[in-house]
Chains A and B, each alone.
Chain A
């Protein structure tokens, strides 16, 4: 046994650490287990962004798989996420409902006009009450709700094309198949 084997210990320790870090790269620490996962989606009934006379409520959406995307015009990450949402909407795989969170109506409408509207409809949560019920602690956040109205997944932070491919689509497809 060559003498340097004894001195390999630091290197081996480092390699173990590196393997752990490598594994860590494919894990997502933001995937905090939301207490709401696998719980019925909190009920809400909010005015629509476009038409304050009408409302959107969680109950109307029973029977289909849908996404709830929490966003605001003051949120820079939402701007980054927006093109991906457009792509998601264009794919027609799943309807995206928006929860416009602690925002101003005109600003939000102008945003949708300028950058495009990926949302089937937007609920307008001016004071963030519904956001609290849903455990929102930052924007953007995205929930996947199944046909029974149960929250199945929560993504914190902007959806990237990668997240769309590896996370959102597979879960949506699974829930669609679930009957």
Chain B
């Protein structure tokens, strides 16, 4: 494929897909180890009510208020889950399910009741995003990467995903040690003076940041898949956390690239005319990778010592 076709049409969606996948997979490692994998599921469902409320309040479809709305909804859901869990003494899984369905229902209802049909805001978009449309029309070839005028025309989603990824990396870099400590041995971490509760909430908020930025570009289905599948597959590859994180990045990148390529060109190879959903395909590829690791990866079985 020539640069003239690839750079404007495929480079940016693929790049955004890759960055979003990595931004979600990184905090996903800790969520999976903390048995909070489904927090990612909950967060990605509540993003919809967040952007609907933001739209109703501001009356415009703009990135900034919608991102704020989504982040606000993520915060509300985390607080709500914790409150229901503690105040009602309810197991976390049920509290999560209760929270995200209620918020999602609110979002759908608001959407149906308000006059949003004219704007590009609908549930399907929220679920599968539209990665394919994030093209870079100002580009004419590889040379455009050095052309400031063309660069100014990059889709804004790219910038937001980059910022989210940097934020995620900064958080993990800064708090790596206390995160590992509190994930492995919470009471020891507390005895060391680590504020484990606050750190846990911070982790979820960082995951929410990644989810919101990724959601904007790729829809919530990728978000859930990337929070859970690459880290889970990576866990089966190694017994060291540093290596697990590295593997999860590899798997996330692989899912995004292969998923995008299969979605765009797979149907053509098979003789069909149209491309299929890239978001759905990326999630599917990540599932295939997980299936492979579950069958063949070196550390797929539990090793735990016999309980004494």
Are the chains A and B members of one assembly?
no
